[in-house]
Structure 1
Amino acid sequence: MTAQRRDSTTDPNSTGRADPAATETDPARGRGIGWVIVALALGGFGIGTTEFVAMGLLPNIAADLDITEPTAGHLISAYALGVVVGAPVIAALAARVSRRALLIGLMIAFTVGNALSLVAQTYPTLMAARFVAGLPHGAYFGVASLVAAHLAGPGRRAQAVGQVMMGLSVANVLGVPAATWLGQSLGWRSAMALVVVVGVLTVAALWRVVPDLRDMHTTDPRTELSGLRSSQIWLTLLVGTVGFGGFFAFYTYLNTALTSLGGVAESAVPIALMLFGLGMVTGNYVGGHLADRLGDKAIGIGMAGAAVSLVVFAALVSTGWPAVIVTFFVGCAGSSAIPGLQTRLMDVAHEAQTIAAALNHSALNVANALGAWLGGMVIAQGLGYRAPSLVGAVLAVAGVLLL
């Protein structure tokens, strides 16, 4: 927590202060960055929708391709693997590419990957398509965060990052339920078609509103890869992996915990998921403001809040609707740490900001797998569906201690 903060809007060889000339002449700042943030968040909305909608449509996909549901579940892993692999590789290889061109290229690749999913007729081709769709995920969020922070300037970087990440949160509130309903009503391919449409709209929006960003520093593959030698980058990624592992331990088994322990009707579970998503939207907004004012302390506050809310959920899960309400606070507290974590990575990375920012989303996907595995393990040991939330609280506390 003592690592020196670095302003990502400055040239690496500067004294650390933003260039007033650049601020005055930047066309995005001249007309406000609101539409740029909206365009960047729209891409996050599409990515969040495609990442999570497959979970709700596994029975439909399995029936259509004549495979078992557990086999169809490997499609989730294929996408996650694409995220983990694509983030560092693309960030390094595209280090010299202008940030505007890279954003547009990544969203085109994302759209093509989902279009391939739309037309895939066999399980192997769908697996390959999901892997391709996942490749741009981490790099897009990493570059989008850097661009948002650059345009926002000192004092508002984390807020801008949080607003970009809000696209992912809104996807949980609106995109995933809408795409799931569409997929169940018209077939799972219609959900993929919706994502393709969002991808095309995002490409057009990025082309229209994102400025040239000629004053935004680019590096080279060797410089980006040198960041992998930084202990601060790896420790910060570990904070995210462990701390957010608790987030996903809770989320993975939320449905069964509410229905089996709380007596909540299956039809009411979407309300809990929507409250969780609304909490994430709120958390990203609040977390951005906290991170700009408190720095790394905002990460610790968010993870500590997540630990407390997870314990409260475990205590109330048998009561039904009170536990449903607590899901909002779990989503809010956990996601409030994300803007601070993203900006910390950008700060400690120095010249390797692109690969560090992108690796954050690889870490979050590892956290997803870690949380689901640990949650499943305690259930298999006979500790019941209350236990994953307590495991989540322990992981959140561990994240704070690592920080």
Structure 2
Amino acid sequence: MKFDKTLFVLALGVFGITTTEFGVIGILPELASVFNVSIDKAGWLLSAFAIIVAVFGPLMVWLLSSYDRKKLLILSLVIFAVSNVLSSLATNFTFLLIVRMLPAFFHPVYWSIALAVAVENTAPNQSSKAVSTIFSGLTIATVLGVPLATLLVDVLNWQSSFLLSALLNIISLIGLIGLLPPIKASDKKEEYSKKTILRKPILWLNILLAFCIITAMYSTYGYMADFLKSVSRMNGKEVSIMLFFFGITGIIGNRMVGKYMSSKPFETTFIFLVALIGVHFLLLVFGSYFVPIIVIVGIWGLIHTGGFLISNVSVASSVPEAQEFVNSIFTSCGNLAVTAGATIGGFWIVHFGIQQIVWSSILLLGLSLVILLVKKVLRWK
């Protein structure tokens, strides 16, 4: 029960930082309009954050690995809260972009510690369930944080969305301070002296698979609000409800993946990829119809949310003896993939139109399926 409490407190922090990172997804059209920039340029509010994480993730984890891990978690949330307050005060796009990048340096620190603690304190056959609890913070951010940020823009203003993220960071911070037990620093010398870690072919193949999966996910999802407004012709309140519905079904999907990923990793990943390809085809065909898109969004959320968990378990299982370092690599990979997804999605919108954006995801998911089958042929887990 004590460890269960630790997992849920760590997930609360993930909820706070994920709302900060992805809360802009639902308000990109509004921010593009307010600051007089194109929608693909506004997408850099998401991708610039991710670039910082991708470039500096492993380095930050390595530099700070000898410090008290609870204090690092608290410091990370403080920086996230301050950044959101500054974002609400932005008067131009450049300033907003810069202050959005500040907490990105500590994003991988929080994620790596949380995921490592989950795996280190769980039996091997239960590790994916523990990780799924941590990822539930991401899912709940999708359920509450992103749609609330979108709704506040429609009801109040765009500044209130960033203030909401700051409030969530503060609530998470209070939870960490009051409920999280001390977490000793990792053994830096032991963990990072293994020169063979980065020489494992299975690690790089799983990183490539994770990169393709997450890029595919965010190529379309990163512009979900714009798709629903432009193609499905929904207003701001309807879009926020759809984002909420997307996240609600995602909670179920996340738990399902956590249940089966440890025992049946190949089958779970294969079904996920095929199902997500199918959903994107449905978006292409029925995206402009109001009632069908409601059903499709629910199915989309059910499937989509498991992608991060599947990717993390695949990468982390490559090097079980160095969880914190490998999780920092995964965090960098995941955020680089988010950047790639936002960039590809923006490019697709500019050159082919918002309705055709799903093809970018379909092609990348097809590539992911090929990589998974290569792993199967090579008998790599």
Q: TM-score, normalised by structure 2?
A: 0.83
Contact 1:243 1:399 (C-alpha < 8 Å) held by counterparts: yes
Cα 1:391–1:116 shift into 2, 3 Å: closer
Structure 1 residue aligned with 2:117: 147
Stretch moving more, 342-351 or 185-194: 185-194
Structure 2 residue aligned with 1:219: 188
The answer to whether 1:392 aligns with 2:349 is no
Give CA deviations for 1:120-173 in whole Å, capped at 9, x if unaligned.
566554333211122222331222112122333332211121121111121122
The answer to whether 1:243 aligns with 2:213 is yes
Cα 1:390–1:280 shift into 2, 3 Å: same
Cα 1:99–1:340 shift into 2, 3 Å: farther
Contact 1:258 1:324 (C-alpha < 8 Å) held by counterparts: no
> Amino acid of the residue matched to residue 296 of structure 2?
V
Give 1:214-293 correspondences, 5 Å limit.
Answer: 214=184, 217-220=186-189, 222-223=192-193, 227-262=197-232, 267-293=237-263
Structure 2 residue aligned with 1:357: 327
C-alpha deviation, 1:333, in angstroms: 1.7
Match of 1:69 among 31, 34, 37: 37
Give CA deviations for 1:230-284 in whole Å, capped at 9, x if unaligned.
4333322211221222222222444454455555566533333222222322221
Secondary structure at 1:69's aligned position in 2? coil
The answer to whether 1:106 aligns with 2:110 is no
Cα 1:114–1:227 shift into 2, 3 Å: farther
Cα 1:253–1:196 shift into 2, 3 Å: closer
Contact 2:51 2:336 (C-alpha < 8 Å) held by counterparts: no
Structure 2 residue aligned with 1:322: 292
Cα 1:210–1:229 shift into 2, 3 Å: farther
Stretch moving more, 218-227 or 174-183: 218-227
Contact 2:216 2:362 (C-alpha < 8 Å) held by counterparts: yes
Cα 1:390–1:222 shift into 2, 3 Å: same
Contact 2:19 2:141 (C-alpha < 8 Å) held by counterparts: yes
Give 1:127-206 correspondences, 5 Å limit.
Answer: 127-183=97-153, 185-206=155-176
> Amino acid of the residue matched to residue 291 of structure 1?
M
CA RMSD of aligned residues (A): 3.1
Distance (whole Å) between structure 2 residues aligned to residue 291 and residue 186 of structure 1: 42
Contact 1:106 1:136 (C-alpha < 8 Å) held by counterparts: yes
Distance (whole Å) between structure 2 residues aligned to residue 200 and residue 318 of structure 1: 39
Contact 1:99 1:147 (C-alpha < 8 Å) held by counterparts: no
Contact 1:41 1:165 (C-alpha < 8 Å) held by counterparts: yes
Structure 1 residue aligned with 2:4: 34
C-alpha deviation, 1:336, in angstroms: 1.9
Percent identity reads 26
Gaps of 5+ in 2: 373-381
Contact 1:113 1:133 (C-alpha < 8 Å) held by counterparts: yes
Distance (whole Å) between structure 1 residues aligned to residue 228 and residue 157 of structure 2: 28
Secondary structure at 1:374's aligned position in 2? helix
Contact 2:20 2:80 (C-alpha < 8 Å) held by counterparts: no
Structure 2 residue aligned with 1:339: 309
Cα 1:177–1:253 shift into 2, 3 Å: closer
Contact 1:244 1:334 (C-alpha < 8 Å) held by counterparts: no
Structure 2 residue aligned with 1:370: 340
Contact 1:299 1:336 (C-alpha < 8 Å) held by counterparts: no
Give CA deviations for 1:371-396 in whole Å, capped at 9, x if unaligned.
344344445454x5443223312311
Give CA deviations for 1:179-202 in whole Å, capped at 9, x if unaligned.
344455554443333322322332
Contact 1:141 1:358 (C-alpha < 8 Å) held by counterparts: yes
Give CA deviations for 1:12-31 in whole Å, capped at 9, x if unaligned.
xxxxxxxxxxxxxxxxxxx4
Number of equivalenced pairs: 369
The answer to whether 1:401 aligns with 2:370 is yes
Structure 1 residue aligned with 2:54: 84
Cα 1:340–1:43 shift into 2, 3 Å: same
C-alpha deviation, 1:311, in angstroms: 2.1
> Amino acid of the residue matched to residue 361 of structure 2?
G
Q: Which has the higher contact order (CA 8 A, sep 6+)?
A: 2
> Amino acid of the residue matched to residue 368 of structure 2?
G
Contact 1:62 1:72 (C-alpha < 8 Å) held by counterparts: yes
Gaps of 5+ in 1: 1-30
Stretch moving more, 44-53 or 180-189: 180-189
Structure 2 residue aligned with 1:26: none
> Amino acid of the residue matched to residue 245 of structure 1?
T
Distance (whole Å) between structure 2 residues aligned to residue 94 and residue 367 of structure 1: 24
Stretch moving more, 118-127 or 37-46: 118-127
Contact 1:224 1:355 (C-alpha < 8 Å) held by counterparts: no
Contact 2:212 2:365 (C-alpha < 8 Å) held by counterparts: yes
Structure 2 residue aligned with 1:7: none
